[in-house]
Structure 1
Amino acid sequence: MANTNRNQNQNRNQNENLNSNKNPANEEDFNLRETRPSLGGGRVSGNDRVGTTFDLVEQMEYLYVRVVKAKQLPGSAKPFVEVKLEGLKSVTKHFENISTPEWNQVFAILKDQIQGPLIEISVKDKGRSGDDLIGMIVLDSIDVPRRVPPDSPLAPEWYRLENRRGERVAGELMLAVWMGTQADEAFPEAWHLDVATVNGDGVANIRSKVYMSPRLWYLRVNVIEAQDLQLGDRNRQQLEVFVRVAHGNMILRTKISQNRNGNNPLWNEDLMFVVAEPFEEQLVLCVEEKIGPMKDEVLGKCMIPLHGIEKRMDFKPPISTWYNLEKHTVSDKGQRSVSRLNSRVHLRISLDGGYHVLDELTHYSSDLRPTARRLWKPAIGVLELGILNAQNLTPMKTKDCRGCTDAYCVAKYGQKWIRTRTILNSFNPNWNEQYTWEVFDPCTVITIGVFDNCHLQGVNGGGPKDSRIGKVRIRLSTLETGRVYTHSYPLIVLSSFGVRKMGEIQLAVRFSCASLFNMLLMYSQPLLPNLHYLHPLSCHQIDILRHQATQIVSTRLSRAEPPLRKEVVEYMLDVGSNMWSVRRSKANHYRLTGILSSIVKFIKLFDEICSWKRPCVTVLVHSLFLVCVCFPQLILTFIFLYLFLIGTWNYRGRPRHPPHMDVRLSQADTAHSDELDEEFDTFPTSQKQIDVLRMRYDRLRAIASRVQTVLSDLATQGERFYNLLSWRDPRATSVFLLFCLLAAVVLYLSPPKILATIIGFYMMRHPRFRDQLPSYPMNFLRRLPARTDCLL
């Protein structure tokens, strides 16, 4: 009852805070906060290390009850066990008419939730009406022994059953009761007594699990030629024959054959797929002839299993093979028949394991290794993540006329995915779960997402989708090795209604390096495997293959128990984030502006020097310029010394925490509602209003026109430089050649130091000696012709 009242007050306060905080997004609402939680039984900060196994999370004590089996129960019973502790209870599954049932189920309850000392374990009969009690056992929680891993599991014991009056009844129950922590190996499979409202298949959806994404390979099919095709119409002048290759739901086709005469077409074209181990589906190849609009005729078909396909580690061409074609027909009665043809097709098929199969965007990844394990290099370190808790989560759904949230976390790094247990009906859930990954490259990113569980009733297919609460990305190269980072990260979600803070998640992260030399050596290695550079894939191929890889991973993980559903996997992999949007265009524009701002600052500083606004600085620059002219060998020395001093000076203001999602940088706080609605529209569009589509199209044309103008100006300047020597303007080229001849003579006769001094002092001359009009070289360059005159 106390827990229920506490949750009601908590929900009421959360709803009040939510209603009172509907102002637009402020910058301070999305800041990253450093925290100092109690980890592993002691406070951790900086480079402190704690020696326990779970030293990045807070130790939480649980009371565990393992119900193993029973014996000598009434023969006609349908027994099940109920574990009850001061109003909190849960039950096992029941058996039909068996006197020696075996459950082997573990129940757990957080020590802080224990309100009374007595533990009641009752064996009941589901087939009885009224008093269904067979027998019970009452234990005192104060006398429960404590177990600390790596101690062996506590041995279960036989307990005699008693009735409510304490009298001995028939039957015995084997139990094991102990106190432990979340480090206990029974913790992931335990049934928590505070989630008694979830039963049946829904119990599996609230447990913590570790998943492994499938190993992905590139399947390369080189379609060379075909022979002895049996054409339907041999009198046709132009034959349009192509090959359609399918694997699973992915279908690709070649171009029309280059040889359109005869029955021996030639293609020599590569088709690429993404396939996952184990290779369950076959490769289906059909040779087809186009006989009319939207009408094709199958000339032959073959099915190729992938188990015998050659796995390549480099780009040596595989051995080509001839495959016989078959004719598949269906009779009027629905009977299928296969007849072998004299036709055959010439193919080269290989599984390329020297590539890194892209399942994420190119600007960041959590795994940059090739697919083939033989090409893997030893790990350089270990990444440890402690998922502590979340605060002030937003109500995601309504239950019993009040808002609630059933939150769980998903973390992805490399092939390993983890899912924490679901904390029911809490806006401040405490997970305190720790996970570990091997690190093979420091320039990688770990992604942590928070979701609301909408499948507590065991709905596996269809139904509601798990809602997004927010996501955090942490790049390992921004972390100091051996240091424990404890921060509270804002959970930010962008939707068609705008940007919104959904709460905060507290994490503890540590990146440990086995060898500093090996890690530094990684910075000199190529980011991707060698085949990405020796035989690169086109942008179109990468987009198609990334889509295939994402679909395969989401399908495979959704088949696990509990499943990682499609909406969760796609959100973690940022599916659709490469689509165009006005907001992203603005963000990238301001990113580019920020990079170029340093050049603009240098130009402004040089202009101030030339204008003599600060005479002391100008005289100092003139003196430094004379030193560089007299001693040119010191120029590079001064440059590198200057960079060293700047970098050393910036060490004081180095970042103290990992980077996090920046709302201001993403232009999420200033995005217009219509821009967000366009960004979250489907592709192809599902917008029905013609006026809205016309407005978006006009806006896109306006943006594209500005981009077109900038590209045109850049092309014009480049063409003018090119036309200096092209004799497109004979007079201008003659003048430039004469200038080049005179410049060569002057540079040969004049001492370089004197010439450099004259040019430098001329560029930094006093404003009194400057003209406001453009210079002669600029006027000459602007008068040169460009190819804009030839455009339509």
Structure 2
Amino acid sequence: MDGESAKKDKFSSRIHVQVCLDGGYHVLDESTHYSSDLRPTIKQLWKPSIGILELGILNADGLHPMKTRDGKGTSDTYCVAKYGHKWIRTRTIINNLSPEYHEQYTWEVYDPATVLTIGMFDNSHIGGSSGNRDMNIGKIRIRISTLEAGRIYTHSYPLLVLNPSGVKKMGELHLAIRFSYTSWANTMFQYTRPLLPKMHYIRPLSVVQQEMLRHHAVNIVAARLGRAEPPLRKEVIEYMSDANSHLWSMRRSKANFFRLMSVFAGASAVAKWFGEVCLWKNSITTVLVHVLFVMLVCFPELILPTVFLYMFVIGVWNYRFRPRFPPHMNIRISYAEMVLPDELDEEFDTFPTTKSSDLVRRRYDRLRSVAGRIQTVVGDIATQGERFLALLSWRDPRATTIFLTFCLVAAIVLYVTPFQVLALLGGFYAMRHPRFRQRTPSAALNFFRRLPAMTDSML
């Protein structure tokens, strides 16, 4: 434009540029619960290593035969270990049920919250057609944070495998492991850092994106290692990475439920003990609890020191019962010893299924019954939350009026009355003798149960 037009008509625009560094993410090729690498994809963002992991694969003993040769059961076994980007494979020991490897490998450790995975397989190339699959004999996972620095662990780990016929011990694998850190301060500081790279928190990926990337990562790793010499087959990569862990399993669902129950077992035991104290099952214990309660109420500054001192004493006491060896696969935790045959058949079925329609219908009916119980529990939890929100939402005008009146009176009483007096009265009331108790629910519980929930509006 000429000079006068440029002064008369001014035009300006803004370009919004957003730069996303793909290499700042870590693409998982295994589950986040037992990942062996948490670094960003691009090497320029890697932090210095914190230590060295040494693994010695010594020998196996008591292996079950995986094939028949010359009328005798035998196996042609090799071991695979995975940690980070580095995969290793031992040589194949032919025709031996007690193979000796005596091979040693090392890895650089960048994060203590990572897991080393070792698996044993039977080589189908030897004594079988090329179309056969390498059969898995067992797998071992060892978390780096469970290893004491500088200590050499030599232990025989059981090789457990889950088949459609049930769980089976295939033998034992003797390993030697040592983790040594280069700097104690860097290792301790690593516990305070985020688990994943910063990009996962600045611009997080969705669960669907992570699962899709993990699927592609497993295929890429399988294609790369399939061209190695000797090659690693795709079934080996999938077994080491647990590529099918996201699929439905009744056994795994039960195992997770019992894990949840064991987590809250301590709180349940404390609640049961306090209930016995309130019921005066042991008068001496109840009196001592009353004395401790009075001391803590009169001197509230001792509450937090007492709690932390109590946890310190418990931790020191549990030092005697610390595990001597790194934990390995557990049949009881996996709920593999009491699983039903039909549940195992469902777990090892292909996706999509290849079974008959009658069998799929029975499985679907069973799944509906289990999901119905879960649906009931989730609905009950939601109902309790909605009742709590209904205290101030005026869905029940009379209940909200009662609660607001109670809040006003409570505010006045708490403002006038010292807190220690109220705490003492509340504690003595909770631990009162059974002769002063009633079998019917309290007025507060009755009031809460009468509050409305959104269940009335559900179809």
Q: Which residue of 1 aligns with 2:65?
A: 395
2:359 corresponds to which residue? 692
Name the amino acid aligned to 1:771. Q
Amino acid at match of 1:499: V
User: Aligned to 1:778, which of 435, 440, 445?
Assistant: 445
1:534 aligns with 2:202: yes
Find the partner of 1:666 among 331, 334, 338: 334
- The residue aligned with 2:418 is 751
The answer to whether residue 287 in structure 2 is matched with residue 592 in structure 1 is no
Larger strand percent: 1
Measured after TM superposition, the shift of residue 732 of structure 1 is: 0.7
Kindly report which structure 2 residues correspond to 1:33-48, keeping only aligned pairs within 5 A, or say none.
none
Residue of 419, 423, 448 corresponding to 2:93:
423
Residue matched to 1:708: 375
Find out whether 1:442 has 2:112 as its counterpart: yes
SS in 2 for 1:427: coil
Equivalent-residue separation in structure 1 for 2:235 and 2:243 (angstroms) = 10
Aligned counterpart, 2:18: 317
Q: Does 2:293 align with 1:625?
A: yes
Query: Hey, what does 1:310 align to over in structure 2?
Result: none
What amino acid does structure 1 have at the position aligned with 2:299? F
Report which of the two structures shows the higher radius of gyration computed on alpha carbons: 1
Alignment of 1:474-493 (within 5 A): 474-493=142-161
The one-letter code matched in structure 1 to 2:157 is Y
Separation of aligned partners in 1, 2:126 and 2:254: 41
Query: Are the equivalent residues in 1 in contact too, given 2:78–2:93 (CA < 8 A)?
Result: yes
Matched, 1:525 2:226: no
Letter in 2 for 1:432: H
Q: Give SS of 1:779's match.
A: helix
**Residue in 2 that maps onto 1:360:** 30
Residue type at the aligned position of 2:381: L
Match of 1:638? 306
Q: Give the SS at the match of 1:353.
A: helix
- Give the Cα–Cα distance (whole angstroms) in 1 for the partners of residues 44 and 280 of structure 2: 65
**One of 472, 491, 495 as aligned partner of 2:140:** 472
Equivalent in the alignment of 2:317: 649
1:735 corresponds in structure 2 to 402
Question: C-alpha distance in 2, partners of 1:457/1:473?
Answer: 30
Per the alignment, residue 547 of structure 1 pairs with: 215
One of 368, 377, 382 as aligned partner of 2:52: 382
Runs of at least 5 residues in structure 1 that lack an aligned partner in the other structure: 1-315, 319-349
Change (3 A) 1:458 1:684: closer
- Alpha-carbon separation, structure 1, partners of 2:270 and 2:337: 31
Query: CA offset at residue 559 of structure 1?
Result: 1.0
Return the offset for 1:456: 2.9
More helix by share: 2
Pair 1:457–1:608, CA change in 2 (3 A): closer
Shift of 1:680: 0.4
Whole-Å Cα distance in 2 between the matches of residues 436 and 599 of structure 1? 42
1:617, distance to aligned residue in structure 2 (A): 1.1
Cα deviation for residue 431 of structure 1 reads 0.4
Report deviation, 1:458: 10
Deviation at 1:557? Answer: 0.5
Cα offsets for 1:544-596 (capped at 9, x unmatched): 11101101100111011211111111111111012111100100000000011
Q: Does 1:717 align with 2:387?
A: no
Find the counterpart in structure 2 of residue 454 from structure 1.
Answer: 124
- The sequence identity of aligned pairs, in percent, is 62
User: What is the distance in 1 between the residues matched to 2:40 and 2:317?
Assistant: 40
User: Of 500, 503, 513, which residue of structure 1 is paired with 2:171?
Assistant: 503
Q: For 1:611, which of 279, 283, 286 is the aligned residue?
A: 279
Aligned residue runs from structure 1 range 22-61, under 5 A: none
Cα-to-partner distance string for 1:341-363 (whole Å, 9 max, x where unaligned): xxxxxxxxx76100111111121
Q: 3-state DSSP class of the match of 2:124? A: coil
Paired with 1:458 and 1:433, the residues of 2 have a C-alpha distance of 26
Corresponding residue number in structure 2 for 1:269: none
Question: Offset of 1:457 from its aligned partner?
Answer: 7.2
Distance in 2, Cα, partners of 1:402 & 1:473: 32
The count of aligned residue pairs is 443
Counterpart residue number, 2:4: none
Q: CA deviation at 1:317?
A: 2.2
Q: Which has the higher contact order (CA 8 A, sep 6+)?
A: 2
CA RMSD of aligned residues (A): 1.2
CA contact 2:153–2:176 (8 Å) conserved in 1: yes
SS at match of 1:686: coil
Distance in 2 of aligned mates of 1:392 and 1:694: 41
Match of 1:556 in 2: 224
The residue that corresponds to 2:11 in the other structure is none
- What residue ranges of structure 2 are gaps of 5+ in the alignment? 1-16
Q: Counterpart in 2 of 1:204?
A: none
Whole-angstrom distance in 1 between the partners of 2:420 and 2:228: 74
Q: Which amino acid aligns with 1:721?
A: F
